[in-house]
Amino acid sequence: QFEHRTTKQPFIIYNIHIDYPSQEARHHSIPVLLSQIKENGDHNDKVIVTGDFNNWPEEIEGVTPIDELIRLGQKASEIEQMKEAGFIDTYQHGETPTFNGFRAVGYGPKIDFIWISSNSVYRVEGETKVDDYHDGDGFFPSDHFPVYADLIYAQ
């Protein structure tokens, strides 16, 4: 548990990196996460969940059309489980790929998320973004684009 420096309000961050390529492992990861949140006695209204959900279909690029990859990523069990548990994706600007494979253009579904609960004490303020940062030589620091959201305490 953390405390905001100015408001002194507590917040809890869980960061997860779900297994790839095992779809079965991904499917079972969210119940473990939700169980851990409950076991810790953390209230969903103060919980922020971030991470790489790897909600990528078993087939990889080159075989499956991009539109189909995106649709499958949106319907992945780990994404559905987060929604069923009352969490909402802070990024509400369409489907922007976050995997780039060290290329300038993202590919496939958005697999990196910042989730807050539907009864969160936070609200998204200002920008939520998938950033295509790269250095002057065109190199990317990761095979994923970073994502961020400005959250403010709303109570």
> Do strands 47-52 and 10-17 pair parallel, antiparallel, or not at all (unpaired)?
parallel
C-alpha to C-alpha distance for 39 and 36, rounded to whole angstroms: 5
The beta-strand segments (E) located in the chain are: 2-3, 10-17, 47-52, 87-89, 112-117, 122-130, 147-153
- pLDDT for 81-138, tens place per residue? 999 999 999 987 777 888 888 887 888 888 999 999 999 999 998 767 777 777 888 7
What CATH topology corresponds to 2-153?
A: Deoxyribonuclease I; Chain A (3.60.10)
- What rounded mean pLDDT belongs to the chain? 87
Bond prior to 21 in cis (omega within 30° of 0): yes
Q: At what angle do helices 23-39 and 77-84 cross, to 10 degrees?
A: 20
For 83, the token pair is 């929604």
**H or E element, residue 78:** helix 77-84
- CB-based contact 108:69 (threshold 8 Å): yes
- The predicted pLDDT at position 12 comes to 95
Most confident among 54-63, 83-92, 143-152 (mean pLDDT): 83-92
Check pLDDT > 60 for residue 61.
no
**Of 82, 96, 85, the residue nearest 129 (C-alpha):** 96
What number is the average pLDDT over the span 26-54? 94
